Structure 1
Amino acid sequence: MSVVGIDLGALNTVIAVARNRGVDVIVNEVSNRKTPSVVGFGPKSRYLGEPAKTQEISNLKNTVSCLKRIVGRYFNDPELEIEKQFITAELLEVNGEVGAKVMYLGQEEKFSATQLVAMLLTKIKATAQAELKAPVSDVVISVPNWFTDKQRRAMIDASDIAGLKLLRLINDTTAAALGYGITKTDLPLPEEKPRRVAFVDIGYSNYTCSIVAFQKGELKVLATGDDRHFGGRSFDKVLIDHFAKEFAEKYKIDVYSNAKAYARLSVGVEKIKKVLSANAAAPLNIENIMPDIDVTSMLKREQFEELAKDLLDRVTIPLQSALDQSGLTVEDIDAIELVGGSVRIPAIKEQIAAFFNKPLSFTLNQDEAIARGCAFACAILSPAFRVRDFSVHDVVPYPIEFTWEQSADIPDEDTSLTVFTKGNAVPSTKILTFYRKEPFDLEAKYSEPATLPGAIPPFIGKFSVKGVKPDSKGDFMVCKLKARINLFGVLNVESGYYVEEEEVEEEIKEEVPEGMEIDENAPKKTRKVKKAVKKGELPVVGGTSALDTKMKQIYAERENEMFAEDKLVQDTAEKKNALESYIYEIRNKLENQWEGLVNESEKNRLTELLLKTEDWLYDEGDDTSKGVYQNKIDELKSIAAPIAQRYFDREEEKRQAQLSKKSGGDQERRAAEAAAKLRQEAQDAEMKDL
């Protein structure tokens, strides 16, 4: 069983696997270490990962990207207007959440964001299994720290639909911190001052800074600041707007009015942005941006920084927010680790270094650090792998409160309580106590809705406590409920029970003066005290934003069907390619290897069949079934196989002859060597007699 970590990014996904010698990053089918986080749909099959990216510009309306940005959101979320700038497919409501409308297998289909993420995870699973040649089950996936309970549950549902066993959802910067700390051998001991490190992660769409305290065997996230709409794509958009204006004046074209022109410009500005990270100026050349129109331009780094001034002014805000929440100052920070592709922009690095007034550290791989941390987290949790213990303590991003109806028997009862404050440790468990005579409900929600992303509702879950009744004296039943934020960062009321006060005997421990011996046989002194004793369980029925079992099963079955369709199309394409290759192979052998082994009639027959099959392949055989291609191969083999056998027999005779000749030569050589040896021995004997 493999242990896999997945950094599911808005632009690319990185897969890492834990092995006995460490953690390796898995390459995909085209040997890239990053797989595009893109899903596309066509007339015959889906396109997932690399194939989806390849066909994106030619199939914009049926290609969906930025999946992580829309999962777990509702269609009326105002932040979707931002995402529509980067997603070319049409977004709409699907089963109560945002989804996409596409043409698939010649029909209009609607898929929810949860389904779309599951499709990408299915691809990631297949990529990992192909590389590892072993089943992939246990995984840990990274998510932004600001993900709400609903978004996290959507990721869990997507993993279930993809057939993955998700062991944990871990925050991006926490994963990077784990990868940093678990390999360190010089961390302070628990009684010593912790090492405080700021992890700054600026990716394609998101910016996060986490302050983390390290001690031997553990890390604690102290605070996190973020900017949900700051990343590489923000800088791309600035450049697109700049060049769109320039091209409107210079070439009289409007790239905003043409989706393909906009997509081609997007690709171009991403390249120029990367070039400017290492050079003072960079050219932009896009051929055929619109029919018969090529565009060229040049941009200097100073111009780029001036265009992006509003963005660059926001760089220090998440840094200051994280520091303020942690209660630390820049002097308290021992190191600053940078990860994420966008930290390569020189102006960003300069601002971060100036803020902390310290040199920046790049000991982690900027593109792979999060995936590696996920793999370490998976190795810690998976029973299939043994790794040194390393505790990870994250924090709650938003305060959570419970509310309930007031009991008629307790008129002055409070009806709400903030149970988990912002910055509370994760995972964490709290015991809630209620006094009731009958079943009751309570609701969990975020207590500060204004701080949540977009219009995500504050509701987390409703929990009904059953089996509650008056106690044996007709008084209140003392109900205890266990509320827990687990390793996924989601909240559940995991169990309930009730307690009753009972008198129990408790030993009285007396202080013994120093030097006095204790008589072990002396009777123990006890006293009767009243204690709450657990008497029984209370069933708790919860309702959350997670998919219900039936819908999840429907989605999983649909995903399996689409995967089978994709596999059939892939196998058919491979069989078609095999037929084409076999035609060229046999034709080449007829002219070379098999010369002299084929009579004229046989050669003409095979040549005619090759030509006929080739014509069929490029005409009506361009789109047919896997079985038909195999039948064509078998038909050719029925004539070619006897010739191939004759060629094999001839080559085998040659080989045997060479072996025989070599064997005969070896015998003559050995005989000559034996005769020479005898002559030498005789000469030695004569010399001895003399």
Structure 2
Amino acid sequence: MSVVGVDFGTLNTVIAVARNRGVDVIVNEVSNRATPSLVGFGPKSRYLGEPAKTQEISNLKNTVGSLKRLAGRALNDPDVQIEQDFVSAPLVDINGQVGAEVTYMGKKERYTATQLVSMFLSKIKQTASAELKLPVSDLVMSVPAWFTDAQRRALMDAAEISGLKLLRLMNDTTAAALGYGITKTDLPTAEEKPRRVAFIDIGHSNYTCSIVEFRKGELTVKSTAYDRHFGGRDFDKALVDHFAAEFKEKYKLDIKSNPKALVRVHAGAEKLKKILSANQQAPLNIESLMNDVDVATMMTREGLEELVEPLLKRAHIPLEQALLEAKLKVEDIDIIELVGGCTRVPALKDRIQKFFGKTLSFTLNQDEAIARGCAFSCAILSPVFRVRDFAIHDIVNYPIEFTWEKSPDIPDEDTSLTVFNKGNVMPSTKILTFYRKEPFNLEAKYAKPEMLPGKTNAWIGRFAVKNVKADSSNDFMICKLKARLNLHGILNVEQGYYVEDMEVEEPIPEEKKEDGEKKDADVSFEPPDPLHVHASCEDERAVKRPRLGQQSLTPPKAMDTDEKPKTRKVKKQVRKGDLPIVSGTSSLEEATKASAAEQEASMIMEDKLVADTEEKKNELETYIYEMRNKIDDQYSDFASEDEKTKLKAKLEASEEWLYDEGEDATKAVYIAKMDEIRAVAGPIVQRYFDKVEAERAAAQAEAEAEAAKKAEMAKAAREAALAQEATQSKDEEMTDAEGTKPDEVEEAK
């Protein structure tokens, strides 16, 4: 089982994998550690990742970027209109979703943002599989903390279409915090003061600050604040606007009227910004920008800072908001950890450092920290790896409320309740209790639409509860619904069931449970009126709302005696059966996903066929040049003049065909052309290899004979040595026998 973490960025995507020795960031087909988040369309195939970036300028209208920021959005959303400034392909409305209109294989096609994301994820899957040499199915992917339910569902659908299973959608800064904390061995214990770290992530398009508390084995997100339109691309845009005005005045060129020129200036501005992060000044030179005019200019760091001053003035806002929501002061923060490529801008670092009044920390890899954190999360969720236990307590960023239909039997009924408040722990589960005599519907929506990005629809989902009916005495059915905000940040009503009140006897407990003990409990009431709605959470006990005439279920505390434990009669709710729930959310229907997955699989096969065809074409071209060089050199002595003439003519004809009619042939035709040349060259090549083989066999036989001769000589030498040793031993014995005298023997004694 593969363990993969993906930092899905607006500009680039980073893939990390967990291995036995830790987490590694893997490289793509051109050995880059980050893959451009682009999808392009051509006359024969798609271009995904690096190939899309390579042909972006020549194929602007058919190349789509900002994939992450388009998913789950509508075309009329003001945020999407901003994205059109950064996406060269035209954006269109497709059944309420934003999509792109492109020319693919000679036809106008329209693809939703969800489909475009699934195409890119197919590329990520392929890249990871090629590196791991294993099939990839499970992964954890990062998303901005401000993503809504609809945006998260769109990414889940896209992953499913591409054949991937998302184990978790993880907020960017939470992933960075996990990567930071899981490797630390010096975190404070539960009794000690927690370590508070501010994680500041400024990437290509957005700026996020999270305040996180660390204790041994766990992290708790206290607050998250963000600026959705603050990032590297906004710095680039400030430069591009400046250069557009300069070139218009200096060279009489209006680059904004020429999309290709504009993209080239954007690329130049991005490089210039990076150079100015380490240098005081840098040049910008672009050859033949427009109308065969070369442009050249110079920019200083001070000049750049002046251009982006409006942005820099906003740098403190997310920091102040994060501290306010966490109810902390600047001096309460122990460490300020920066991640994201834009945090390399010196002016931005200065503003952040002045705000906190502390030295900034850069212990994490700014470009790869989030992907590594995702890989750690995937390893924790995977049964394959044994990872140090590390609990992650993230928070709800938007309050969620439920509304329902008013029952005709309850005229004064409340019809809404905020179930998940901003700052609640996520994931969490709450139980909603309804008293009903007939089936009913309820809707989930964001309680404060003004907090949502752009003009996002506040609606989350509609849930119809079936099989509800009055009991035998025409009394209300007690319906319980399990609402869960899962670890992806997605809301579902997962389960419905009904219960009955039963009176039972139980001993009065002598001791209370320890304070702070967590219990997933449902607080039950005996209401005088027919309806009471309440919610309880895994991490929070529901608050009882007193009602007129309500009796306490807890009797007075029993006195300590030697008698048998006293009991009390209590009403308990016993589960009697399930209630089917029909859900309607922004997720794609199963049939739609199946159709999109089938279309994606077909496109993958088309891409593979085109790639294989191109490979065979290159093989043919290489073989033609190789044979042309070898026929007068390596194979010269093995071919007659007639054979040489015939082969050269064949090569020349094949080359002419290749650059004329064969420019756009099929894979089978290229293979057939290769076979035709081999049929002519085969006898010549065979003679050459026969001679090579004969020479090799002769050399081997000679080597074997030489080895045998050496072995024979060695054997003879050993035998001679043994014979000499035997003769010498015999001579010594004879000398001893003849030369010993009686008096010498006596002396020896």
Q: Secondary structure of the equivalent of 2:636?
A: coil
Give 1:209's aligned amino acid: C
Q: Secondary structure of the equivalent of 1:670?
A: helix
Write out aligned runs for 1:407-418 (5 A).
407-418=407-418
1:347 aligns with 2:347: yes
CA distance in 2, matches of 1:682, 1:563: 79
Which residue in 2 is equivalent to 1:561? 602
1:130 aligns with 2:171: no
In the alignment, is the contact (CA less than 8 A) between 1:91 and 1:98 conserved in 2?
A: yes
Which stretch shows the higher mean deviation, 240-249 or 179-188?
A: 179-188
Which residue in 1 is equivalent to 2:249? 249
Match of 1:598 among 622, 630, 639: 639
Which stretch shows the higher mean deviation, 405-414 or 44-53?
A: 405-414
CA distance in 2, matches of 1:248, 1:395: 49
CA distance in 2, matches of 1:408, 1:53: 61
Write out aligned runs for 1:257-336 (5 A).
257-336=257-336
In the alignment, is the contact (CA less than 8 A) between 1:66 and 1:86 conserved in 2?
A: yes
CA distance in 2, matches of 1:573, 1:468: 63
Which residue in 1 is equivalent to 2:591? 550
Which stretch shows the higher mean deviation, 529-538 or 336-345?
A: 529-538
In the alignment, is the contact (CA less than 8 A) between 2:75 and 2:81 conserved in 1?
A: no
| TM-score, length of structure 1 as denominator length | 0.96
Which stretch shows the higher mean deviation, 148-157 or 75-84?
A: 75-84
> How far has the Cα of 1:473 moved from its partner?
2.5
CA distance in 2, matches of 1:645, 1:387: 58
> How far has the Cα of 1:529 moved from its partner?
2.5
In the alignment, is the contact (CA less than 8 A) between 2:612 and 2:667 conserved in 1?
A: yes
> How far has the Cα of 1:84 moved from its partner?
1.4
Q: Deviations over 1:136-185 (max 9, x none)?
A: 10011111000000111111111111111111111111111111111222
Q: Secondary structure of the equivalent of 2:304?
A: helix
1:612 aligns with 2:630: no
Q: Secondary structure of the equivalent of 1:201?
A: strand
1:20 aligns with 2:23: no
Write out aligned runs for 1:489-500 (5 A).
489-500=489-500
CA distance in 2, matches of 1:543, 1:192: 46
CA distance in 2, matches of 1:559, 1:667: 65
Which residue in 1 is equivalent to 2:557? none
> How far has the Cα of 1:524 moved from its partner?
7.1
Which stretch shows the higher mean deviation, 261-270 or 602-611?
A: 602-611
> How far has the Cα of 1:476 moved from its partner?
1.4
CA distance in 2, matches of 1:52, 1:629: 26
> How far has the Cα of 1:600 moved from its partner?
2.3
Which residue in 1 is equivalent to 2:518? none
Which residue in 1 is equivalent to 2:665? 624
Q: Deviations over 1:93-147 (max 9, x none)?
A: 0121111111111111111111111111111111111222211100111110000
CA distance in 1, matches of 2:162, 2:301: 44
> How far has the Cα of 1:523 moved from its partner?
7.9
In the alignment, is the contact (CA less than 8 A) between 1:399 and 1:422 conserved in 2?
A: yes
Q: Secondary structure of the equivalent of 2:328?
A: coil
Write out aligned runs for 1:365-444 (5 A).
365-444=365-444
In the alignment, is the contact (CA less than 8 A) between 1:407 and 1:413 conserved in 2?
A: yes
> How far has the Cα of 1:666 moved from its partner?
2.8
CA distance in 1, matches of 2:440, 2:626: 76
Which residue in 2 is equivalent to 1:240? 240
Write out aligned runs for 1:202-221 (5 A).
202-221=202-221
> How far has the Cα of 1:616 moved from its partner?
0.5
CA distance in 1, matches of 2:136, 2:77: 35
CA distance in 1, matches of 2:723, 2:670: 75
Q: Secondary structure of the equivalent of 1:186?
A: coil
Which residue in 1 is equivalent to 2:6? 6
Which residue in 1 is equivalent to 2:53? 53
Which residue in 2 is equivalent to 1:536? 577
> How far has the Cα of 1:223 moved from its partner?
0.4
> How far has the Cα of 1:64 moved from its partner?
0.8
CA distance in 2, matches of 1:219, 1:351: 27
CA distance in 2, matches of 1:344, 1:202: 9
Which residue in 1 is equivalent to 2:225? 225
CA distance in 2, matches of 1:392, 1:382: 15
Which residue in 2 is equivalent to 1:515? none
> How far has the Cα of 1:441 moved from its partner?
0.8
CA distance in 2, matches of 1:405, 1:686: 120
> How far has the Cα of 1:525 moved from its partner?
5.8
Q: Secondary structure of the equivalent of 1:136?
A: coil
Which residue in 2 is equivalent to 1:182? 182
In the alignment, is the contact (CA less than 8 A) between 1:38 and 1:65 conserved in 2?
A: yes
1:636 aligns with 2:677: yes
CA distance in 1, matches of 2:565, 2:422: 48
Give 1:144's aligned amino acid: P
* Count of paired positions: 682
> How far has the Cα of 1:190 moved from its partner?
2.3
Let me know the Cα RMSD of the aligned residues.
Answer: 1.8
Q: Secondary structure of the equivalent of 2:637?
A: coil
Q: Secondary structure of the equivalent of 1:108?
A: strand
Identity of aligned pairs, percent? 65
Q: Deviations over 1:632-669 (max 9, x none)?
A: 11112223233333222212221222222223333333
1:670 aligns with 2:692: no
Which stretch shows the higher mean deviation, 275-284 or 533-542?
A: 533-542
> How far has the Cα of 1:682 moved from its partner?
5.2
> How far has the Cα of 1:467 moved from its partner?
1.3
| TM-score, length of structure 2 as denominator length | 0.88
Q: Which runs of 5+ in 2 are unaligned?
A: 512-560, 733-749
In the alignment, is the contact (CA less than 8 A) between 1:95 and 1:112 conserved in 2?
A: no
CA distance in 2, matches of 1:529, 1:429: 26
Which stretch shows the higher mean deviation, 671-680 or 210-219?
A: 671-680
> How far has the Cα of 1:23 moved from its partner?
1.2
> How far has the Cα of 1:442 moved from its partner?
0.8
Q: Secondary structure of the equivalent of 1:241?
A: helix
Q: Deviations over 1:593-623 (max 9, x none)?
A: 2231222222222221111111110110000
Which residue in 2 is equivalent to 1:103? 103
Give 2:578's aligned amino acid: E
Which residue in 1 is equivalent to 2:168? 168
Q: Which runs of 5+ in 1 are unaligned?
A: 512-517
Give 1:599's aligned amino acid: S
Q: Secondary structure of the equivalent of 1:2?
A: coil
Tell me: CA distance 1:235–1:440, structure 2 relative to 1, closer, same or farther (3 Å). same
CA distance in 2, matches of 1:94, 1:565: 24
CA distance in 2, matches of 1:134, 1:454: 41
Give 1:227's aligned amino acid: D
CA distance in 1, matches of 2:496, 2:728: 108
CA distance in 2, matches of 1:463, 1:482: 12
Write out aligned runs for 1:467-482 (5 A).
467-482=467-482
Write out aligned runs for 1:650-689 (5 A).
650-681=691-722, 684=725, 688=729, 689=731
Q: Secondary structure of the equivalent of 2:91?
A: strand
In the alignment, is the contact (CA less than 8 A) between 1:170 and 1:488 conserved in 2?
A: yes
Look at both structures and tell me which one has the larger radius of gyration over its CA atoms.
Answer: 2
> How far has the Cα of 1:287 moved from its partner?
0.7
Which stretch shows the higher mean deviation, 75-84 or 155-164?
A: 75-84
Which residue in 1 is equivalent to 2:735? none
Give 2:150's aligned amino acid: K
Which residue in 1 is equivalent to 2:525? none
Write out aligned runs for 1:79-94 (5 A).
79-94=79-94
